[in-house]
Chain A
Amino acid sequence: MKYDESEQNKKGVRKRTSTDPIDPERLVRLIARAQSGEVEAFQLLYLSYAKKIFNFLFRMSGSREEAEDLAQETFILAFRKLNSLKEAVKFQGWLFRIAQNCFYQKHRGKKPQIESIDEEGSAELSDVQKLATPGLDPEHSILSDELQEVIRVAIQELPEKYRTVFVLSAIQKLSYQQISEIVNRSMASVKSDIHRARVAVRDKIKGYLGENYGMSNMF
């Protein structure tokens, strides 16, 4: 098998496209207004970042309900502590750090919780996933759901330290620099943990797919 760059592009390896959903000038204005107690301005910030924070917490906790509770705590705490934010342009990283701390605080000493997608919100999730993977025939769709469950479990089974950087990198598409600031660790440590997490997830998927691993007709 020869390495082919064009094939990588064709298969859709996602480039990191995650940036702040609001342009910096507007962000600074909204944060200044929210800092002076304007709830409407904070609501606009919430609308821009809620999905990212919620999905980060969902991938961390493995539970929709818990992710919602933690997202609530995150935004309430963010509003309370908004005056401590020094640089408005770093709002996204600051918010992820609060979300991470909320999660760690709740999960100190707990084992990761894994819930089946079938148990809650399965219809909604599979619809979203089907839209995210266009052109799937029903047979492949079932396989894709199974695969997604395997990946989800693989992420949940990662140690928290690896899971955080993996979710921020692979799912949220943040840069190593941003991740390093969020988890307050060196870039070298972040890089190394992301690689270990990637290999661990890969091994889980490989273990599940066996000989089929790497087959392009999975997509």
Chain B
Amino acid sequence: MTALLDDELSSSEANSVKDHLHSCSTCQQEFQSLSFAYQLTGQLGELEVAPDLWDRITPRLPSRSFFGQFWSLFRRPWVQATVGALVLAAFLSVFLWVPGQDQAEKEFAEFIQQRERISAETQSLLFSNAGVEVNRARSNPFVKPVSFSTRNPFQE
């Protein structure tokens, strides 16, 4: 009966309770009695809030810390989505893009080193066999010009 008065029953439940009330005088009296009390409690007025209540609350409201504000901002869905996208992009760039680039650079550096090494070895082999000394500073005008050995290795 209370649920019927509180409008908390489904239509079929309400109908079955109402059917019973039509046929049972004891329950009908109880229902009427409860219903009357409902009407009386429904007549209780509401008090108005004191106009200065907010003024008493405001000074006691704590000011938010920087971290608190940041955390509140982070709770917004669009901020979470943006941060998520940035983290994903960073993840992909670290694990997919950068290693590929490193590998290419490494291979290129190795190739250059190898080429220089071969070139140097070839030069040293050629010049040492010919008995020729190459002055590295031959283009420098303050240093003695290139000098070749006058000794003929084939005349010994």
Chain B positions within 8 Å of A133 at CB level: 43
Main secondary structure of the interface of B (DSSP, over half): helix
* Contacts of B90-109 to chain A: CB distance below 8 A: none
A176 adjacent to B41 (CB under 8 Å): no
Let me know if B60 and A72 touch, CB within 8 A.
yes
Q: Give a binary string over A174-206; 1 marks a CB under 8 Å from any B CB, 0 the rest.
A: 011000000000000001001100110110011
Give the distance to chain B from A71, nearest Cβ to Cβ, in Å.
7
Q: Determine how close the nearest CB of chain B comes to the CB of A24; give it in whole angstroms.
A: 15
Mostly helix, strand, loop or mixed at chain A's interface?
helix
Closest A-B pairs by Cβ, 9 of them: A37-B64, A202-B37, A129-B45, A195-B2, A128-B45, A36-B72, A35-B72, A132-B45, A3-B21
Check: A121 CB closer than 8 A to any chain B CB.
Answer: yes
Which among B39, B50, B60 is the interface contact of A219 at CB below 8 angstroms?
B39
Within the assembled complex, what's the spacing in Å between the Cα atoms of A43 and B55?
A: 10
* In-complex Cβ contact of B33 among A67, A128, A175, A202 (8 A): A202
- Total number of residue pairs linking A and B with CB closer than 8 Å: 152
Binds A, one of B3-11, B121-129, B137-145: B3-11
The docked-state distance in angstroms from the alpha carbon of A129 to that of B45 is: 5
A-side contacts of B136, CB under 8 Å:
none
Q: Which residues of B does A touch, CB under 8 Å?
A: 1-3, 5-8, 18, 21-22, 28-29, 31-50, 53-54, 56-58, 60-64, 68-69, 71-73, 75-76
A198 touches B33 (CB 8 A): no
Nearest A residue to B39 by beta-carbon distance?
A11
Is A72 in contact with B38, judged by CB distance below 8 angstroms? no
Contact B47 A42 (CB under 8 A): no
23 contacts between A and B (CB under 8 A): A2-B28, A3-B21, A3-B32, A35-B72, A43-B58, A46-B57, A50-B53, A50-B54, A58-B47, A68-B53, A72-B53, A72-B57, A76-B57, A128-B47, A128-B48, A133-B43, A170-B41, A171-B41, A171-B44, A191-B2, A195-B2, A205-B40, A219-B39
Which B residue sits closest to A172, measured CB to CB?
B46
Q: Which residues of B contact A170 (CB under 8 A)?
A: 38, 41-42
Taking CB atoms, residues of chain A closer than 8 Å to B73 are: 36
* Contact A13 B45, beta carbon cutoff 8 Å: no
Whether B5 and A13, one on each chain, are in contact in the complex, defined by CB atoms closer than 8 angstroms, is yes
